[in-house]
Structure 1
Amino acid sequence: MAGSSPSTGGGGGEATTVPSTSTIVAEMATGSHVLTVDGYSGTKGLAVGEHFKSGTFVAGGHSWYIKYFPNGATDETSEWVSVFVKYSDAAKKKGAAATVKARCKLTLLLDGRDGRAPLPPLTKSSELRTFSSGKGGSDQWGHKKFVRRKELEDPSKRLLRHDRFSVRCDVTVAVGIRTDDVTAKLPAPPPSDLHRHLGKLLASGDGTDVTLQVGDETFAAHRCVLAARSPVFMAELLGPMKEEDTESHVVAIRDMDARAFKAMLHFIYTDSLPNVDDGGEAAAMVQHLLAAADRYDIERLKLICEDKLSGGVDATTAATTLALAEQHGCCRLKEACLRFMASPANLKAAMASDGFEYLARSCPSLLKELAANLAV
């Protein structure tokens, strides 16, 4: 045959061709910021119409910040908390007008950590609108009646926790519109599933060549995987420090919680944390896991644990978490604990916890830092 010919319809009709295609894409860029009001009752001394500002954040290449009015933005809304998002590009300071199209969402973050189901979030949203820094334009959007103060302060509503609450602002900016020619474009390759295959390898136990003894529990693993993920395991299992007993292939892991080690092993193979049960034991589990990550020099796991603990500091965990941060060199976690206990009410509640005595005994220098924070 001389070669294949285009397919035709029945009866000798014209050849069938694949139509070209294109897509009009409205590009959007997003940015988010969480403003936490820690010590809400202390902010109520501001007059009606006066506000506090959040730090500046970027969305779509433009600068924004949140304005918090504890006693309302106007006399008519003095019984409410008002919240606005402000467009604040640097071009405004130079006298040049700047314009951007964006939609915004303000959310009062609610906390259900007391064991009851979390409440649905309180959210206010806008349509796509124009923000302008020029004369006569509108450079902010928000709600004068974001949440009524009486409702915010009602204990039964559970909107305040330890005299603090947080507002999240999400800004979606219209970047531009483009036309893409998608003719004959191949589908994108699937995302990496290496973690899934390694997870199956760990679960199956196939090819394991080392057994790790943690207390009364044993875990079968692969030396090369452990060594690749941890420089400490590299030295202990493949380097000069490796165990001399090559027949039993059993390595004893002392002074470590077995559940935390199992979670660390899961992370080593899958680069993700297993599901940790909610409740009071979750924080303790992450604390043990952070200590294990530091011991085996698994930096990414250590940072993940530090981040989780920083977001959940409360009166019951602040003291033990602060001691943990000091012992394992977690600067951000230490700052989060000190910031929480800078409030006299929070410090008093933390001192009543079981962990404060341990903090005072193991890290007495931190008591001076706490006292210095209160004096500021």
Structure 2
Amino acid sequence: MAAGHAALSHQHPVAVHESTPNTTLRASRTTVQHVLKIQEYSWMSKSFDTGKGLCSKSFYVGGTTGWHIAFYPNGNRVETDDSVSVFAVLDDAAAGRAVEAEIGFDVLDPTTGEPMPRYRRPGGGVIRRFACIGAFCGYENFIRLEELEEFLLKDDCFWVRCNITVVEFLRDTAPPPWPVVAIPPPDWPQHFGDLLRSKQGADVMLDVGGETFAAHRCVLAARSPVFKAELYGALKERNTYIRIDDMRAEVFRNLLHFAYTDELPPETIEDGAAMARDLLKAADRYNMERLKLVCEDRLWSHIDASTAATTLLLAEQHGCHRLREACFEFLLRSSTTLNAVMATDGFGHLCKSNPGLLKDILSKLATHRDRRRRIRQWEEDDNHELVLRTTEGDKLPEPTHHMHLGCSRSIETHTSSSKTHDRRTPIHPDLTRDIATFISWSSKN
């Protein structure tokens, strides 16, 4: 069982021998993420009245506390019959022992499987005390039915993830720490880089842009399936000299450096988006996926009005789906941004070389405008209030069915603090004029 430990050492007020153990207070955290897939939602919403729900199978956190998820397709009471209700319910624990836990819920994107920011209900770091079996914590108005049916269903299914962190407060003594041997990071990139620079043992020559590079067949084959086929294929004995066309020597030098060291030279950062674009093409040509991702990340950080159209076209040509979506999101930031991009030569080239992308941009402009309008309307009256019963007293309506809803899985994880970087950008609230301008512009060019 993986658990995180936050330690507070209590120093004795009088002098003690340095070998005397200290008292340590520890908060041991164990987190489980239980994913619930609700299938045939339309049938459930019609078949279950308000106050009638279903139960997931039981799952355990750290092997000591049992839980299940209670789900009510039409709310758990009349006052919330316009929403689905969801709760985490304690159903097993050591006799006479209260459970301290943090409860949170997410709705997962049906396409990516990632939490959707708008529908996140995090625990907020608040530890709840569950004093008895049947104690529960959750949301009566988790998602409005209209919004769920409009935006969140895929093939009549949607996914809810319950995040439960059980906290145990422990006190123990620890012996004096043993000396720790510091282990340095792997140094193979340095050694392989030295091998590339020294050319010792090189057995293949590559002619690129009038410049010759010495390399090692086995290294190139290990890093690129394309080089492997070329160097160890049927004509392997003849392939001691390779000529590479349609690539600048500087680009190949950086690709070769990455093949040997798994990183790009520092000077490529100064070269900015231009070198990243050329390297991405080379990485795709030689099927070097990690280098391709590194280039995608650099291009992502260089997206602006002058590069957005060129980067979008490049992402489309080389199958960089996340970079493609990042460019779309940049275009949708505001009418000012869109007009600035449309004024670039790169945008004109995009329209002429790939009209399908122009249609995609138009479609996304119209879709996001309509979606934003509906979401704003719901945000005006949404009220997601946490419902908590952690002692004897009020109880949930008894679920009418105890069944495995579609499928679910539990993942026990080590709790750690981390920041999620969301690159999504706000959508401009009214893009009608932009669409009209866009259509007019494209018809004249």
Question: Is 1:204 matched with 2:189?
Answer: no
Q: Give, in whole Å, the separation in 2 of the partners of 1:323 and 1:28.
A: 50
Percent of aligned pairs sharing the same letter: 48
Which residue of structure 2 aligns with residue 260 of structure 1? 251
1:23-68 Cα offsets, whole Å, 9 max, x none, are 8697899xxxxxxxxxxxxxxxxxxxxxxxxxxxxxxxxxxxxxxx
Give runs of ≥4 in structure 1 deviating > 4 Å. 19-29, 90-100, 174-186
1:268-288 Cα offsets, whole Å, 9 max, x none, are 001112114556x41111111
Question: Is 1:362 matched with 2:356?
Answer: no
Backbone CA RMSD of aligned residues: 3.7
Contact 1:306 1:333 in 2 (8 A): yes
Question: Is 1:218 matched with 2:206?
Answer: no
Which residue of structure 2 aligns with residue 309 of structure 1? 299
User: Letter of the aligned partner of 1:330 in structure 2?
Assistant: C
Query: SS of 2:305's equivalent?
Result: coil
State the aligned residue count.
228
Which residue of structure 1 aligns with residue 59 of structure 2? none
Contact 1:317 1:355 in 2 (8 A): yes
Contact 2:207 2:244 in 1 (8 A): yes
Contact 2:202 2:216 in 1 (8 A): yes
User: Letter of the aligned partner of 2:258 in structure 1?
Assistant: F
Query: SS of 1:132's equivalent?
Result: coil
TM-score relative to the length of structure 2: 0.45
Query: SS of 1:211's equivalent?
Result: strand
Contact 1:21 1:181 in 2 (8 A): yes
- Tell me: CA distance 1:374–1:259, structure 2 relative to 1, closer, same or farther (3 Å): same
Q: How does 1:24-173 map to 2 (within 5 A)?
A: 98=101, 131-132=125-126
Which residue of structure 2 aligns with residue 285 of structure 1? 275
Alpha-carbon offset, residue 347 of structure 1: 2.1
Which residue of structure 1 aligns with residue 285 of structure 2? 295
Q: Give, in whole Å, the separation in 2 of the partners of 1:327 and 1:308.
A: 17
User: Letter of the aligned partner of 2:253 in structure 1?
Assistant: K
Q: Give, in whole Å, the separation in 2 of the partners of 1:339 and 1:214.
A: 37
Q: Using CA pairs below 8 Å that are at least 6 residues apart, which structure has the higher relative contact order?
A: 2
User: Letter of the aligned partner of 1:347 in structure 2?
Assistant: L
Q: Give, in whole Å, the separation in 1 of the partners of 2:27 and 2:206.
A: 51
1:148-179 Cα offsets, whole Å, 9 max, x none, are xxxxxxxxxxxxxxxxxxxxxxxxxx997876
Alpha-carbon offset, residue 224 of structure 1: 0.9
- Tell me: CA distance 1:180–1:189, structure 2 relative to 1, closer, same or farther (3 Å): farther
Which residue of structure 1 aligns with residue 326 of structure 2? 336
Query: SS of 2:254's equivalent?
Result: helix
Question: Is 1:236 matched with 2:230?
Answer: yes
Alpha-carbon offset, residue 311 of structure 1: 2.9
Identify unmatched segments of 5+ residues in structure 1. 1-18, 30-89, 101-129, 136-173
Q: Give, in whole Å, the separation in 1 of the partners of 2:319 and 2:313.
A: 10
Contact 1:21 1:183 in 2 (8 A): no
User: Letter of the aligned partner of 1:237 in structure 2?
Assistant: L
TM-score relative to the length of structure 1: 0.52
For residue 308 of structure 2, the aligned residue among 298, 307, 318 is 318
Identify unmatched segments of 5+ residues in structure 2. 1-17, 30-84, 91-98, 104-123, 130-166, 368-445
Contact 2:251 2:275 in 1 (8 A): yes
Contact 1:210 1:220 in 2 (8 A): yes
- Farther off after superposition, 293-302 or 90-99: 90-99
